[in-house]
Chain A
């Protein structure tokens, strides 16, 4: 099988940062699947490789392209960085490599300008934690923000639209949990603040 890469068609790269147990990897997979449904032929979604520990900083990545993705190495210059837990912003590697015109999407109660993050990228914030608390999206005492933050991601970046995301969510989640997750996505989408 012949495989060809296209440099002009470099994949869109998303890096996700969260804490073990928050669902960053699931979020990376949902966006990949939604992008595929939307017509992107090449998508990959991967956790950071190796051991992962609950509560410890973890990352994941998604690549999206109109052609099959041939790059298998780690994401170096993400177009989008998504931070599920704003306490991770103090680590410099979270925004590392995020370029001009990129998007930093953060689950934070603060508006973008008050995050105190400097860079040439755009910033979007939404208090996904509050949205999920209000909706009762809590599992074993943990507020589960990984689906909610997708609302902010797609509002900022428009990789996929809400109906596509909803379609994928309905495929992946059981009937009993899908509605609360969709409500969290919609609400977060609505309240997301953008700063370009």
Chain B
């Protein structure tokens, strides 16, 4: 049920949207290190704190590794924490990303997607966050600035229920530096949607405890005589939390719609009954893909678009339902799992295995290091994929690259 609310639309870029969303979420500790193209976001947040508009501690750290260490510590003592980074910054944070997830802390991180060197490149692709796929974080990708605003707020709701950190990913420059209309939610509504953070454990000097100490492979009996989890049980519980977070993510999207009038699921899917060819893309490319699909439909080619939103946990059953009538799936990836294929293509193949869906899958690697991806290029690639159906191979081993080699 979409309700009509009085809108408060401003023309914002993606970094501004993320900063305002963090402020509306009443974050209490921010620790971040500036890096292109995330920099304006941290600048904006430090200004909010400096001006007293946001009651938070802004910790200026000397590295991204330290930023996540500060977030982890702050979250453990019960603060709602926020950080943001890009590219090499996220790579540098890698160790502490594991630590945040392993400690089951509901930290929210805005990842402004940017390519990784060598060679140096400051422009957009999704290799940075995809490279952090197995750190135990929930990953959500945004298509536009409104989704950045709304997803940061939802991220806290999700993280604080399932006790798993959430990475909100959006394309560098394409969204971070591009202004578009964004409806800024009312603080009262955000407060209603997002109750104050209640930590699962609090480091409290009055009640001293150890957290995340050396944990043996097997369960052990603690000093209080109770049997404690071994390392492997704790890993299982993190996996279980991500597996089960689907429901929480869907619920958070539904409740968000009830309060703000904008509906979110774990992917963007318009059920076009007749579509036999499905284009799959993630992030802002999923919007350009809609333009491409419309161009193809004008030619009478029945195309639909599946925009991936939640990458971890990967919504296998929902993707299968969306793809049930497909004959050809064309997956565009702004990342590459070297020696294999695009990461989202692998996920889709994995989700489809063992179902009755026996669609051909074509994977194209596009837009690395800020290479512009135009709707007409998506159209051309899709046409090429259709033409290749005459060949016998259902799934080629390796992806095609839209580049000049």
The finding on whether chains A and B are genuine partners in a shared complex, rather than unrelated, reads: yes
The verdict on A87 contacting chain B, using a C-beta distance below 8 Å, is: no
Total number of A-B contacts with CB less than 8 angstroms?
A: 86
Which secondary structure dominates chain A's binding surface?
loop
Q: Verify A76–B374 contact, CB threshold 8 A.
A: yes
Given A44-B178, A74-B372, A76-B374, answer yes or no on A3-B294 (Cβ-Cβ < 8 Å). Answer: no
The verdict on B264 contacting chain A, using a C-beta distance below 8 Å, is: yes
Q: Verify B288–A46 contact, CB threshold 8 A.
A: no
CB distance from A12 to the nearest CB of B (A): 15
CB-CB < 8 A to A51: which residues of B? 122
Of residues 111 through 160 on chain B, the ones whose CB sits less than 8 Å from some CB of chain A are: 122-124, 143-144, 147
A44 to B285, CA, bound (A): 16
CB-CB < 8 A to A74: which residues of B? 372, 374
Q: Mark B283-326, 1 if CB is under 8 A from A, else 0.
A: 01101101100110010000000000000000000000000000
The verdict on B262 contacting chain A, using a C-beta distance below 8 Å, is: yes
The verdict on B173 contacting chain A, using a C-beta distance below 8 Å, is: yes
Binding site for A on B (CB under 8 A): 9, 11, 122-124, 143-144, 147, 171, 173-175, 177-181, 262-264, 268, 270, 284-285, 287-288, 290-291, 294-295, 298, 370, 372-375
12 more contacts with CB within 8 A, not counting A45-B178, A73-B288, are A1-B264, A7-B295, A36-B9, A43-B180, A46-B173, A46-B179, A49-B173, A50-B123, A71-B287, A72-B175, A72-B285, A74-B372
A47 to B175, CA, bound (A): 11
CB-CB < 8 A to A50: which residues of B? 122-123, 173, 370
The verdict on A69 contacting chain B, using a C-beta distance below 8 Å, is: yes
Closest to A40 in B: B181
Q: Verify B284–A72 contact, CB threshold 8 A.
A: yes
Of B177, B178, B263, which one neighbours A1 at CB under 8 angstroms?
Answer: B263
Given A46-B179, A50-B123, A72-B174, answer yes or no on A29-B268 (Cβ-Cβ < 8 Å). Answer: no
Leading 9 A-B pairs by shortest Cβ distance:
A49-B173, A46-B178, A70-B287, A45-B179, A73-B374, A72-B284, A5-B291, A44-B180, A74-B372
CB-CB < 8 A to A4: which residues of B? 270, 290, 294
For this complex, into which size category does the number of interface residues on chain A fall? 20 to 34
Q: Verify B268–A32 contact, CB threshold 8 A.
A: no
CB-CB < 8 A to A71: which residues of B? 287-288, 291, 375
CB-CB < 8 A to B177: which residues of A? 46-47, 49
Of B122, B179, B270, which one neighbours A44 at CB under 8 angstroms?
Answer: B179
The verdict on A2 contacting chain B, using a C-beta distance below 8 Å, is: yes
